[in-house]
Amino acid sequence: MAIARAMMIMAVQCLSDFRRDWALAMQAEFDVAAEAGNALSFAFGCLLGAWREVPTHEKGRFAIASYFLAIGVIVPLGGLLLSSVASGYSYLAPAEAGAGNIFGSGRPVFPVTYANQSGLSLLAILTFGLGLGHLYIAWVILDRNWMRVAVAGRIGAAVMATIVTFTGVLFLYDTCALPQVVAIAIELSAIWLLARWHADLTDDDSWQPKPHSR
């Protein structure tokens, strides 16, 4: 029964933004199906129908794009930044082979001098903060709070500029920060396009940013 109710919650959430009437009807019919002992099969059918319905609406396609960008792109990039600090801060420099050529995972070619070692802790802190910022941006994107997305994006861009500046000083002639710059530039562009898409959607109270508790 718990599994069936969880599936119904997912189905209702998939439809709540653009087929609220259907979602409410499914909830009412679920109680009848549960009394008849068909809760699981009914919930599975509702969930399957909801998944099929989502891509047919613009708001559904927007929701899919939002989850893909937040969970499929921004969260992994944030995890990559955090893991780079946890593994000794590899600066995401391009590796010689493998996935590092795309995401960057090697270490700077030029060694760090003793005089520059004091700057490494600051770079690690900035990178860690940038990784946490990615997780926060992913959360507020799904919450559809574009004001907080904009603020977090500006802070992230400033942190990235600081990282590039410090990296240029510590590792002269090395390009170890470039993969981060390119990835974040693409990421911010995608967020901007998503925000523009949201602005073009039909004005609906159910599609506004959710209020935050204080």
Count CA atoms within 13 Å of residue 104 on its CB side.
21
Q: What pLDDT does residue 123 have?
A: 78
- The SS3 of residue 107 is coil
| Token representation of residue 153 | 């994006």
Q: What pLDDT does residue 132 have?
A: 93
Q: What pLDDT does residue 137 have?
A: 94
If 0-12 CB within 10 Å is exposed, 13-18 middle and 19+ buried, where does residue 74 land? Answer: buried
| Token representation of residue 195 | 């925000």
Task: Summarize the chain as % helix, strand, coil (round to 5).
Answer: 75, 0, 25
For 62-94, the pLDDT digits (tens) are: 888 888 999 899 999 888 888 877 766 544 444
The amino acid at residue 143 is: D
Distance CA 40, CA 34 (A): 8
List average pLDDT for each run of 10 residues in the chain, which is 214 residues long: 78 70 78 81 83 79 87 89 71 43 44 58 84 92 88 90 76 64 86 88 50 43
- The SS3 of residue 168 is helix
Distance CA 90, CA 87 (A): 7
Closest alpha carbon to 113 in 172, 163, 160: 172
Cβ neighbours of residue 42 under 8 Å, at least 6 residues apart? 4, 29, 30, 33, 34
Distance CA 117, CA 119 (A): 5
Q: What pLDDT does residue 163 have?
A: 81
- The SS3 of residue 104 is coil
Q: What pLDDT does residue 103 have?
A: 42
Which residues are registered as beta bridge partners of 106? 93
